Chains A and B, each alone.
Chain A
Amino acid sequence: MTGWQLADHRPAVRGGVLLSQPLLRGRTSVHLVKDPDSGQSFEVGPKEHFIIARLDGRRSLGDIGDEYAAAFGRRLGEANWQQMLRLLHTKGLLAGTPASAASAVSAVSAVSAASVAPGMADSAGPAGERSTLFKGSVRLVSDASAVVDRLHRIVGFALAAPVVVPLLLLVLAVQTVVALHLGELTDATGRAFQNPALLLAVCSLMWLSTALHELAHGVTARRFGGTVSEIGLRWRLPVMIMYCTVENYLYLRSRWHQVATAGAGAFLNALFLLPFFPLWLALPNDEPARDALAAVLLLGSAQAWINLVPVPPLDGYKMASHLAGMTDYAAESRRYLRLAALGAIGRGEGTAGYPRRARIAYPAYAAAVVLSLAALFTGVVWACHRLLGDRFGSAAALVPAVLLAVFGAATLVGGAARARTERVKRERAEGVRTEGERAKAENTEQELATPGSAPHAPAQASAPRPGPRPATRPETRPHTKSDSTPHTTPRKAAVSEAQPLTTMTELGTPDPAIVLAGVHKAYGGLQAVAGVSLEVRRGEFFGLLGPNGAGKTTLVEIMEGLRHADAGTVSVLGMPPWPRDIALLPRIGVQTQSSAFFVRLTAHEHLCTVAALYGADPAAVDRTLALVGLTEQAGSRVDRLSGGQRQRLAIASALVHEPELIFLDEPTAALDPQARRALWQVLRDLKGQGRTIVYTTHHLDEAEALCDRVAILVGGSVAALDTPRRLIGAAGTATRLLVPADRLTVDQARAITGVREVTVEGGALVIETGDDAGPVLAAVNEIAGLQGVQTRTATLEDVYLQLTESR
């Protein structure tokens, strides 16, 4: 091979991959790239765009390299090409490569598809999140694309210039008349508010207008080659609105098409008023319906104009962005103004490096925002005064003005605070990421993009950028259109990061799960816990035994952080459990009383709520119900579960968020033998996964079978602490022989050497011997034979009884 190996390759970008027009982000120009199959989209620099746009399968990389050199005055090396192709490959954009793993990406697709919907404030995708009564969405049509096609066939003619221009003029004329009669219309609207029937009619019409607004976006986008993927209803009570998602709206060929698509909604709101206008003119003054018409005209016009305010997420903002060819217009504009202000007082580098277009567009945007908000403010205050002025005097103008100002200031402060925390969060995340990448980038001359590693949470991508970015380093990054941030995504990520369980067990961290040192707790005069010191190791199954009133519950509650020890130190997973620490809580699971359920919910609903409280994966709910054997009872109300079922649900509540450390309080107490054995297996599996389990029980056979170590608590202090085996061994308790009573008399048995005691229990002679039962067994064999003879060695129960009775 001469020159470089890849020169003769003719790779092609997969069909359907979308490339946007150049957009300005701060100082740099970017293009959006979207994979229609996965729905993922991200940004690339102009150089990457230059190459991607030419990867058509006909040109060889050598040809493209020549064009690149001609355009940018620089040749790309082998490493650059490899990096570029690797980027396209990992993003699944090259023909012949598998579409980037659809399953992993599906959640992202829902978000990014929804976020390009014009006119929508909320970018939570319908498929991404479960609907609830208070917030959610539902699809209204199964094939939105076909519906919009049909609509477009019927009303599409109205989008041709010969129809639109006269309609636009007509709308403007009506709006002029409305503006001239503003006072009269406001008074009439006030009157309509006193008549509930009229008010209801006006509200219904307004809602209809909002719905049509969304369809107008869809049909206009369709006309310019867009695809409508969804039409549905979205609600966040008490507000419910229709939405219409346009798949490839950001990739329409011309920016005018985008502006038209974004503006179509407001235009339709104004158009909607046309039939009402002549009616309003025609009706006599004293007709009540005339008030309703006036209200429709006034509110409808307000609706149209407010939509045009250039503040995200309103349509006006989108129109302004497209018109100026900007991405992240609002945030970038803020940043430009901040830099300009700092530059003016001689701090920072000012706005050097911004292209001329940006120097006009960013201040212009800010001016437009200030002007339109001022207009809105004036309008609202004026209307309040007009309606209520004769009753409240100047207070009717003053009070709304102050309220609006306070509200506006609060929004600004809140927005700034949120932007700052997100910037900090992102900087922290980027700090981790870029170190590795920087090393890579330096190897490749920093000529080409370093691929942004994984799809980001949209919240991170849409937040304002920190400080100026080196213009020499174009980069790709996942892109979202909307400025609104779905808060759930980053939060979920944080929760899954907070459970480093596998890494922890892999490394076999030596530090103990729980350390108690000299813990005391008294209630009034009663010393419940008197100087307990113990350690529970990671991955250990630890049993706490002891009679009722020995202080088990109090001790466990101190470990859980529900109670504060009077004296001594407590450390759980390396943190003090008191006071309540929400960083520690997701790492521990606590079985509460079997009554602690959300009232009147089903088992499944209860567990879903608990999972949500822990920020756990909703899919874990069904898994956990199956684990404790409650799948069949999932739909039963918690108050109708049996005792054992309630207990299993309480255990499930402790396990649903997959904690590292699990506290169980007599988990097998109310269970039947099968359920008890099944739970043993569950507990063993949990231990097998490396989790630490601390549990209390009165079933000593169970403790012996399950626990790595047990502590026997008597009178508030630890009487014994070791493995069950060693405790039994150390206690030196007796072995018992059970011989059927008809084979041996009591006197015969007493005569055998080594026998300590003989009793008769339930048709059998119980012969108690010392540690070594061998000689006694031989003697019994001689007298009666060994058939039917049973040997019982000491159990933990013997140790327990010995310890607790001696006190």
Chain B
Amino acid sequence: MSAYAALTEASYRAYVRDKATLFFTFAFPLLFLVVFGLIFRGQDVEETGRPYIGYIAPGVLSWGVGNAAVFGVAFTLMQWRADDLLRLIRMTPVRLSSVIGSRYVIALVIGVVQSVLFIVVALLPLFGLELDATWPLAVPVLVLGITAFVVIGAVVGTFADTPEAVAAIANFLMVPMAFLSGSFFPLDAMPGWMQSISWVLPLRYLNDGISGALSGSASAGELTVDCAGLIGFTLIFGAIAVKTFKWSNRP
């Protein structure tokens, strides 16, 4: 078995054995979907005349996926460093790309499974999401979005040394971002200044891209902008993650 496969398997086992996290990763976004979906059932957004569910489903989905990526990677990194497991890995002849790649693949798989589950539920007549033929275009946006949030998680995991710190920092980032990027309320229904602010948030691009692809309302140019935005955030936070990475908590 290659080092990459072994690490992936170890991460996978650790993940599925953590029942609480497993439950919340998949159930939390669904809970939001149920709450918002039922409250605004059958309503349209005034500004555009499109159904509310067409905004909220992609919004909650991108928030859920981003949240899971940030928390998952940050917790793993923090814990591996606190347990000194990073030093063990550093003493083996494994390439850093295998270590990063294995964790990345796990995050990607989690994100994709989350999305499929979420979309299937949203398609139920109760919620009434409708997919446009352009939905496959959401896949690249999703992959780039997960990548960006994985990298953000790596930065969080580097700065936080305890589980409490991870939760605090990640929540501080993700909760306001969810509101400001239109995950829970359609941005189209928000004041203009808020819409402008949202452009500095990575979730905005993920949100836009997924909702545009699923509803078929985005042009090729808009999708390209979303992808480019996510790539930009990946590069910025990737540079920070590489720059600040540390193998051990000890000086």
Surface stretch bound by A, among B5-13, B151-159, B171-179, B183-191: B5-13
Contacting residues of chain A (587-601) with chain B, CB-CB under 8 angstroms = 588, 590, 592-593, 595-601
User: Smallest Cβ distance from A123 to chain B, in angstroms?
Assistant: 16
Q: Which residue of A lies closest to B247 (CB)?
A: A562
A190 contacts the other chain (CB 8 A) = yes
Contact B14 A132 (CB under 8 A): no
Contact B131 A596 (CB under 8 A): no
Q: Which residues of B contact A560 (CB under 8 A)?
A: 91
Contact A134 B5 (CB under 8 A): yes
A72 contacts the other chain (CB 8 A) = no
Q: Which residues of A contact B79 (CB under 8 A)?
A: 599
| Given known A-B contacts A196-B131, A612-B1, A615-B3, A133 and B219 have beta carbons under 8 A apart | no
Contact B83 A562 (CB under 8 A): no
Contact A599 B6 (CB under 8 A): no
Surface stretch bound by B, among A224-232, A305-313, A386-394: A386-394
* B contact residues, total (Cβ < 8 Å): 43
Partner of B12, one of A133, A391, A608: A133
Partner of B5, one of A135, A399, A582, A596: A135
The docked-state distance in angstroms from the alpha carbon of A764 to that of B157 is 60
The docked-state distance in angstroms from the alpha carbon of A593 to that of B90 is 13
User: Smallest Cβ distance from A683 to chain B, in angstroms?
Assistant: 19
Contact A613 B92 (CB under 8 A): yes
| Given known A-B contacts A388-B134, A392-B219, A562-B91, A612 and B83 have beta carbons under 8 A apart | no
The docked-state distance in angstroms from the alpha carbon of A399 to that of B13 is 39
Contact B9 A132 (CB under 8 A): yes
A445 contacts the other chain (CB 8 A) = no
| Given known A-B contacts A134-B9, A598-B10, A392 and B84 have beta carbons under 8 A apart | no
Contact B7 A609 (CB under 8 A): yes
| Given known A-B contacts A523-B251, A600-B13, A608-B6, A614 and B92 have beta carbons under 8 A apart | yes
Contact B1 A129 (CB under 8 A): yes
Among A560, A596, A597, A610, the most chain B Cβ lie within 10 Å of the Cβ of A596
Contact A562 B87 (CB under 8 A): yes
The docked-state distance in angstroms from the alpha carbon of A392 to that of B3 is 43
The docked-state distance in angstroms from the alpha carbon of A130 to that of B88 is 24
Partner of B9, one of A561, A562, A600, A609: A609
Q: Which residues of A contact B125 (CB under 8 A)?
A: none
B18 contacts the other chain (CB 8 A) = yes
A350 contacts the other chain (CB 8 A) = no
Contact A580 B90 (CB under 8 A): yes
B44 contacts the other chain (CB 8 A) = no
Contact B135 A612 (CB under 8 A): no
Contact B85 A596 (CB under 8 A): yes
| Given known A-B contacts A132-B9, A609-B9, A614-B93, A592 and B220 have beta carbons under 8 A apart | no
Q: Which residues of B contact A196 (CB under 8 A)?
A: 120, 123, 131
Partner of A133, one of B9, B120, B136: B9
Contact A132 B131 (CB under 8 A): no
Contact B93 A610 (CB under 8 A): no
The docked-state distance in angstroms from the alpha carbon of A582 to that of B96 is 11
B17 contacts the other chain (CB 8 A) = yes
Contact B134 A391 (CB under 8 A): yes
Contact B83 A132 (CB under 8 A): no
The docked-state distance in angstroms from the alpha carbon of A24 to that of B5 is 38
The docked-state distance in angstroms from the alpha carbon of A590 to that of B86 is 13
Contacting residues of chain A (282-308) with chain B, CB-CB under 8 angstroms = none
User: Smallest Cβ distance from A93 to chain B, in angstroms?
Assistant: 34
Partner of A592, one of B9, B87, B135, B219: B87
The docked-state distance in angstroms from the alpha carbon of A600 to that of B9 is 12
What 1/0 mask marks residues of chain A from 147 to 175 whose CB sits below 8 Å from any chain B CB? 00000000000000000000000000000
Contact A613 B6 (CB under 8 A): yes
The docked-state distance in angstroms from the alpha carbon of A133 to that of B6 is 10
User: Smallest Cβ distance from B157 to chain A, in angstroms?
Assistant: 14
Contact B216 A613 (CB under 8 A): no
Contacting residues of chain B (51-97) with chain A, CB-CB under 8 angstroms = 79, 82-85, 87-95
User: Smallest Cβ distance from A177 to chain B, in angstroms?
Assistant: 25
Contact A582 B91 (CB under 8 A): no
The docked-state distance in angstroms from the alpha carbon of A597 to that of B13 is 13
Contact B14 A601 (CB under 8 A): yes
Partner of A610, one of B82, B92, B95, B220: B92
Contacting residues of chain B (84-131) with chain A, CB-CB under 8 angstroms = 84-85, 87-95, 109, 120, 123, 131
Q: Which residues of B contact A606 (CB under 8 A)?
A: 10
The docked-state distance in angstroms from the alpha carbon of A476 to that of B247 is 51
User: Smallest Cβ distance from B216 to chain A, in angstroms?
Assistant: 7
Contact A615 B85 (CB under 8 A): no
Q: Which residue of B lies closest to A129 (CB)?
A: B1
Q: Which residues of A contact B85 (CB under 8 A)?
A: 595-599
Q: Which residues of A contact B13 (CB under 8 A)?
A: 600-601, 605
Contact B84 A592 (CB under 8 A): yes
| Given known A-B contacts A392-B220, A523-B251, A194 and B131 have beta carbons under 8 A apart | yes
A469 contacts the other chain (CB 8 A) = no
* A contact residues, total (Cβ < 8 Å): 54
A586 contacts the other chain (CB 8 A) = yes
| Given known A-B contacts A582-B95, A653-B88, A613 and B3 have beta carbons under 8 A apart | yes
The docked-state distance in angstroms from the alpha carbon of A598 to that of B89 is 10
Q: Which residues of B contact A132 (CB under 8 A)?
A: 1, 5, 9
A191 contacts the other chain (CB 8 A) = yes
Q: Which residues of A contact B10 (CB under 8 A)?
A: 598, 601, 605-606, 609
Contact B14 A598 (CB under 8 A): yes
The docked-state distance in angstroms from the alpha carbon of A343 to that of B220 is 48
Q: Which residues of A contact B132 (CB under 8 A)?
A: 194
Contact B216 A391 (CB under 8 A): yes
| Given known A-B contacts A193-B136, A194-B135, A391-B134, A610 and B88 have beta carbons under 8 A apart | yes
Q: Which residues of A contact B14 (CB under 8 A)?
A: 598-601
Q: Which residue of A lies closest to B248 (CB)?
A: A562
Q: Which residues of B contact A399 (CB under 8 A)?
A: 220
B133 contacts the other chain (CB 8 A) = yes
Contacting residues of chain A (221-255) with chain B, CB-CB under 8 angstroms = 237
Contacting residues of chain A (384-437) with chain B, CB-CB under 8 angstroms = 387-388, 391-393, 395-396, 399
Q: Which residues of B contact A193 (CB under 8 A)?
A: 133, 135-136
| Given known A-B contacts A134-B8, A193-B133, A392-B219, A596 and B87 have beta carbons under 8 A apart | yes
What 1/0 mask marks residues of chain A from 184 to 196 whose CB sits below 8 Å from any chain B CB? 0000001101101
The docked-state distance in angstroms from the alpha carbon of A433 to that of B134 is 58
Contact A593 B133 (CB under 8 A): no
B196 contacts the other chain (CB 8 A) = no
The docked-state distance in angstroms from the alpha carbon of A132 to that of B109 is 16
Among A196, A583, A653, the most chain B Cβ lie within 10 Å of the Cβ of A196
A585 contacts the other chain (CB 8 A) = yes
User: Smallest Cβ distance from B87 to chain A, in angstroms?
Assistant: 6
A75 contacts the other chain (CB 8 A) = no
A509 contacts the other chain (CB 8 A) = no
The docked-state distance in angstroms from the alpha carbon of A388 to that of B220 is 10
B2 contacts the other chain (CB 8 A) = yes
The docked-state distance in angstroms from the alpha carbon of A614 to that of B3 is 8
The docked-state distance in angstroms from the alpha carbon of A599 to that of B80 is 8
Partner of B91, one of A585, A598, A618: A585
A802 contacts the other chain (CB 8 A) = no
User: Smallest Cβ distance from B18 to chain A, in angstroms?
Assistant: 6
A548 contacts the other chain (CB 8 A) = no
Contact A562 B133 (CB under 8 A): no
Please, could you name 19 A-B residue pairs with CB atoms under 8 Å apart, sorted by A? Answer: A129-B1, A132-B5, A134-B5, A194-B135, A196-B123, A387-B133, A392-B219, A392-B220, A399-B220, A487-B2, A583-B93, A596-B84, A598-B85, A599-B14, A601-B10, A605-B13, A612-B2, A614-B92, A614-B93
Residues of A participating in the B interface, judged by any CB pair closer than 8 Å: 129-130, 132-135, 190-191, 193-194, 196, 237, 387-388, 391-393, 395-396, 399, 487-488, 491, 523, 560-562, 580, 582-583, 585-586, 588, 590, 592-593, 595-601, 605-606, 608-610, 612-615, 618, 653
In addition to A393-B220, A593-B87, A613-B7, 8 A-B residue pairs with Cβ atoms within 8 Å of each other are: A130-B1, A196-B120, A523-B251, A562-B247, A595-B84, A598-B10, A608-B6, A613-B93
